[in-house]
Structure 1
Amino acid sequence: MQLTVTDDHTRSGWLDQFDPRLRLLTALLFALTTVSLQQTPLLLLVLAASLLSALFTGLTGSLLLKRLLAMEGFMILLLIMLPFSVPGDSLFTLGSFSASTQGLERVLQIVLKANAIVIMLMTLIGTLEPVVLGHALGQLRLPEKLIHLFLFTVRYIGVLFDEYQRLRMAMRARAFVAGSNRHTWRSFGWLIGMLLVRSLERSQRILAAMKCRGFNGRLYLITTEHWQRRDSVILSILSLFFLLLLLSDHLL
């Protein structure tokens, strides 16, 4: 589940010396600040800051490009339609539709904000081990049920994928070839149904095993991480920097 970086798979050791809660709070403040900014130069500044952070962490360019392309593919329809739906000065026309300069500026802002936030999240949170991230969320007093759901999802999503792979292998062993016909869609429907049934059965076995080990509905998060003075200093400095960005955006 951890992001793949460089040759040794991690060069984020300089981040590991800080409390994970600091990384979560920094990512949250960065996202809130970036979303609030409206000036393009400041958005370019935060994008450059996120790219530098990813570079120092050791995230490879190919990994960043792959993740960003997945996000851009999701946003492509919005980015295409927005210039034609925002009123303003006409930039060019396409048939009976007119694209506005204000709409194009809005598209640029959305692209800069989304990329800056995603890159920073990959840098600060994506390089955390899932268990460490769950413990940090618990120390921040987030709802226990939400944390349990996150930890169980991380733990068993690979198990469900393995189950899906076994079912697909069984289908291929029976000479199943996917196509655009009724038999294919019915077969995939049975596949999804069997995956749900087996997931339910496995969840019941897991719950029974946990009850045998004294599970009472609560997971106790044991961690050796301690908030230090340097974490408070860094958080204060970053908060001041984000505040200056917001003030600059308001004054420009």
Structure 2
Amino acid sequence: MIRESFAEGSSWVHGIDPRLRVVGAAAFAVVVAVSYDFTALFFALILSFCMALSARLYVQTVLQRLLAPAVFLLLLWAVLPWSYEGDALAALGPLTITRPGVTLCAQISLKTVCLMVAFMALVATMTVDTLGHALNRLWLPDKMVHLLLITYRYLFVIEQEYQRLVRAMKIRNFHAKTNLHSYRTYAYLVGMLFVRASERARRVHNAMICRGFNGRFVSLRAFPPNPLNPIFGLGVSLSLALLVTLEWVK
């Protein structure tokens, strides 16, 4: 249900401390989000693809992951250039394409691709379980970490319940059609899924209390030292400093 294909690699990026990768990805996202200069954005794009190459990500898989934001960007390019006010750049019949609209679309597109590729290289190269423990070590609120880890664990259980209910419907010769019976059946399916999820949550909570759960997860995950950690941290710091220089120092 949740594919973690990038987390199965063996590149040097996979060996970097997950906490450093999370902090680096967050800092990179903040700097790129507030950047508007095209020189800085193109440098960030090159940097993000260098991260992907360093993590040895499959190009085909990366492009597949970029398809979803590409659809959003296409809609943006179809609407924003002619609906944004500003100096006219070109005219297509009754529509006037504005220079600020095209500029804004290009900036959003570059930022989207930069952040998606960077997060694939730095965050998607770890499992969700490792990400949760890394966030816990970075002193994020315990409830947020617990919600992430428990959701990750029981999404698979809920998916199994869903498949079981769908099989029961098919055994009873249910065929989806555009009629009231099909709509009512799918409503019952969703309702029963919520009922079973609620019942499962109650049983899991009782089981956790019986095992002494006091509101905190004790993480036994250890992140062994890596001699490349300081080099990675220095590289990220210098890259972000160069991005800031390109954006604000003219």
1:88/1:100 contact within 8 Å kept:
yes
Looking at structure 2, the residues matched to 12 and 45 of structure 1 have their Cα atoms a distance apart, in angstroms, of 26
Identity of aligned residues (%): 37
1:88/1:101 contact within 8 Å kept:
yes
Q: Which runs of 4+ in 1 moved over 3 A?
A: 92-97, 226-234
Looking at structure 2, the residues matched to 236 and 25 of structure 1 have their Cα atoms a distance apart, in angstroms, of 13
Out of 58, 61, 68, which is 2:59 matched to?
61
1:4/1:59 contact within 8 Å kept:
no
Question: What's the CA shift string for 1:54-103, capped at 9, x where partnerless?
Answer: 12212212211221111222444333221122222223334543221221
Specify every segment of 5 or more residues in structure 2 that has no aligned partner in the other structure, as ranges: none
The AA in structure 1 aligned to 2:175 is: V
Out of 116, 119, 123, which is 1:118 matched to?
116
Q: In the comparison of the two structures, how many residue pairs are matched?
A: 249
Cα gap change, 1:64 to 1:171, in 2 (>3 Å)? same
Looking at structure 2, the residues matched to 85 and 204 of structure 1 have their Cα atoms a distance apart, in angstroms, of 51
Looking at structure 1, the residues matched to 37 and 93 of structure 2 have their Cα atoms a distance apart, in angstroms, of 31
Matched, 1:222 2:217: no
Partner of 2:4: 3
Looking at structure 2, the residues matched to 4 and 208 of structure 1 have their Cα atoms a distance apart, in angstroms, of 34
Please report the TM-score for the alignment, with normalisation by the length of structure 1.
0.90
Looking at structure 1, the residues matched to 89 and 167 of structure 2 have their Cα atoms a distance apart, in angstroms, of 54
Bigger Cα displacement from structure 2, 232-241 vs 192-201: 232-241
Partner of 1:159: 157
Partner of 1:102: 100
Looking at structure 2, the residues matched to 134 and 169 of structure 1 have their Cα atoms a distance apart, in angstroms, of 33
Specify every segment of 5 or more residues in structure 1 that has no aligned partner in the other structure, as ranges: none
Post-superposition offset of 1:17: 2.7
Cα gap change, 1:60 to 1:13, in 2 (>3 Å)? closer
The AA in structure 1 aligned to 2:69 is: M
1:17-32 aligned within 5 A: 17-32=15-30
Out of 133, 147, 151, which is 1:135 matched to?
133
2:28/2:240 contact within 8 Å kept:
yes
Cα gap change, 1:233 to 1:15, in 2 (>3 Å)? closer
1:21/1:137 contact within 8 Å kept:
yes
Partner of 1:84: 82
The AA in structure 1 aligned to 2:20 is: L
1:175-190 aligned within 5 A: 175-190=173-188
Partner of 2:206: 208
Looking at structure 1, the residues matched to 94 and 205 of structure 2 have their Cα atoms a distance apart, in angstroms, of 60
Looking at structure 2, the residues matched to 25 and 170 of structure 1 have their Cα atoms a distance apart, in angstroms, of 46
Post-superposition offset of 1:2: 5.3
Matched, 1:36 2:37: no
Post-superposition offset of 1:223: 2.2
The AA in structure 2 aligned to 1:142 is: L
Partner of 2:247: 249
SS in 1 for 2:223: coil
